[in-house]
Structure 1
Amino acid sequence: MENISFSIDLELSLNPFFIPSGAKYPIFFLGLFIYIFCLFCNMSLLLLIIMQQSLHKPMYFILLSLPLNDLIGITAMLPKVLSDIVTETNKIYYPLCVLQGFLLHMYAGALLFILAALAFDRYVAICLPLHYNSLMTPRVVVSIIGLVWGLDFALIASLFSLQDKLPRCRTHIMNVFCDNPSLVSLTCANTVINNVVGLLYTAIMQIISVSIQAFSYIKILLTCLATSRSEAKSKAIKTCVTQLVIFLIFEIVGTFKIISHRFTNVSTDLQKIMGMLIFTVSPFLNPVVYGLNTSEVRNTFLRVLRRKIFA
């Protein structure tokens, strides 16, 4: 097939959901509610940590990356999908498609690394409490945050630079949003290297994140079992369980999304829905688990709220 010149004004077509006409607006308003809720909760958590001096601690400086990342992920995907549901245009310019895919992959990779960094912080706080301040110094915290975003950017940027070199012969994206596999599928050339590198980078991110979290949570569990203080034990276990639930939901949905592409009998709409859940479930749950479920954040938020109301 003839190669296509991918210029700035070239439009790609997306593969929309099959939505009955009567369900279009209910689905749109449900999605809009989810988006507004995620925006409000993550912006509130972000501003609360930035503006409240009492939350200027190592854990919350690391936590600051989580709502920021959630805002990137859900904003890169959901508004475009909701717009296409109403307008039924299902078109996107090539540069915007690349940008959307890049941001979505940045979000997924950063989420794995941020959860690992938060797990490590909890390990130091619970297992090495007397050394916490000497270990989690401002310099170490800045290095952790820089490593999270720097490593994520380096891996995703190199992945997208690799697919950008491929010749193109198609203009149809087999998804409701753009990602690296969708962009790679636009080529008629051999994509073995791209597939191998993509799987390799996914494995690197997973191994780093799972290893750090497994080490941290096993150490925390052992420390909790060894302590005689039931209150401290229950508090630590509750913190770890809620954080693990977020990670496991992300992993289960992400694994299904990756595996489902290898089976032809899996519904394409189901694949699209599971793909969207990757970028909506975590931004929806994270502010609750890491915000309202954390007593210090919750108490600070309520104190600020009461101050604003009675002012």
Structure 2
Amino acid sequence: MTRTVNGERLFKSRDKEVLRKMIWQIADFSGVEVLTYCVMSNHFHVLVRVPCAKAVSDQELMRRFRLLYPKPTKYQEASAKVLESKLQAGGEEAVAIRERLLVRMYDVSEFMKTLKQRFCVWYNKSHERFGTLWAERFKSVLVEGKGNPLQTMAAYIDLNPVRAGLVEDPKDYRFCGYAEAVARVPMAVLGLRAVWVDVVAGAGAEDVLRAHRMLLFGKGACPGNQPGHVISREEAAHVMEAEEGALPTSIALRCRVRYFTDGAILGSAEFIRTYVDAWQLERGRKHPPKVNPVRGGQWGDLAVIQALRRQVFG
């Protein structure tokens, strides 16, 4: 966890969105696994699993290097090509390059350092400010990588917006790992799978989300757990007993498609096919669009005229 200078509430929605994307981007570069996270207006939490350092191929090194520069300048493009040619040439220089890159991977301190520095540069440039953004070095807690300690820490992080009084249900806060998992963002679902792997081994995404939701509402309804707002006991009882942690289909679908691309059509495959010609003509498409089943859940015969956005929070 790390806070802004003086705990100032600096981050608006756009800032949180950029930081959210950077968390996933830098984690991929660093080789760490994000289990869940939460970005608030003056701090953020991230729960990561750090694998042991391992050999990384030159091809993978270059892929990760380019992750840091997804839209490179001409200089950065040239730099990447030079780096790649030196790796291919081998020798002492190639060994030194590998060491410089690998030392930044599989290390939580390097992950946080890169993340905080890159976001600080972006934030200062975007808001015409200068100087430090973060108050201090990040605070870290070593968590047992299985069972109740790991699940409790994940729930604590995902409940941050509830305790702050921003939402009554953590699925409605778009800048946390649980909300991304409910929207079926693949990496977020994988993160929660890792949290629950010892309890619901071999289970599908629905079972993992149900287990995590039960825990969130159980923990969130305990006022002695953490200071701040709590989930009402009535709502917790409804989620845990009546719904057994499962989101109603209508609610789950809303979370999945809250950010449709303009012009998408939702319905049965037969219904959508009746509008394909008009949709194609209106947009001047050369080829007719495909009718795709709605993915990421048990939606029955629901389909969409074009694939749902993967970046549902973008």
TM-score, normalisation: structure 2: 0.24
Which structure ranks higher in relative contact order (CA pairs < 8 Å, sequence separation ≥ 6)?
Answer: 1
Q: Which has the higher strand share?
A: 2
Query: What TM-score comes out, normalization by structure 1 length?
Result: 0.24
